[in-house]
A and B are shown apart, each in its own frame.
Chain A
Amino acid sequence: MTSAGSGLTLLQTCALSLLVFTGASQFALVGALAAGGNPLTAAAGAFFLGVRNAFYGLRLSQLLALPRAVRPFAAQWVIDETTAVALAQPTRRSARIGFAVTGLSLYLLWNLTTLLGALGAEAIGDTEAWGLDAAGPAVFLALLAPMLKTTTERAVAALAVVLGLGLLPVLPAGVPVLVAALAAPAVLWAQGRRRGGTRTHDGVQDTHPDAYAQDTPEEDR
Chain B
Amino acid sequence: MNTWIAIGATALGCYAVKLAGLMVPAGALERPLVRRLAALLPVALLAALTAQQTFADGRALVLDARAAGLAAAAVALVLRAPFLLVVATAVLVTAGVRAIAG
Contacts and interface: CB of A to CB of B under 8 A. Distances in A.
Nearest to A7: B3
Interface string B1-31: 0111111111101110111111110100100
B36 A144 contact: no
Prevailing SS type, chain B contact patch: helix
Given A75-B22, A160-B44, A160-B45, A135 B91 contact: yes
Interface residues of A, number: 97
A39 B5 contact: yes
B18 A134 contact: no
A161 B14 contact: no
Interface stretch (A48-56, A107-115, A198-206): A48-56
A179 to B, nearest CB: 9
Contacts, number: 294
Contacts of A43: 5-6, 9-10, 13
A61 B22 contact: yes
A157 interface: yes
Which of B11, B13, B20, B56: most chain A CB closer than 10 A? B11
A104 interface: no
Contacts of B37: 184-185, 188
Given A46-B10, A46-B13, A40 B5 contact: yes
B29 A62 contact: yes
Interface string A2-30: 00000110001001100111100110010
A130 B67 CA distance: 15
A131 B14 contact: no
Contact of B2 (A39, A52, A153): A39
27 contacts: A20-B10, A29-B6, A53-B14, A56-B21, A58-B21, A75-B22, A79-B18, A80-B46, A131-B95, A133-B53, A137-B49, A137-B66, A138-B70, A138-B89, A141-B90, A144-B46, A147-B43, A160-B48, A164-B47, A164-B52, A165-B56, A173-B59, A177-B48, A181-B48, A184-B37, A210-B32, A216-B32
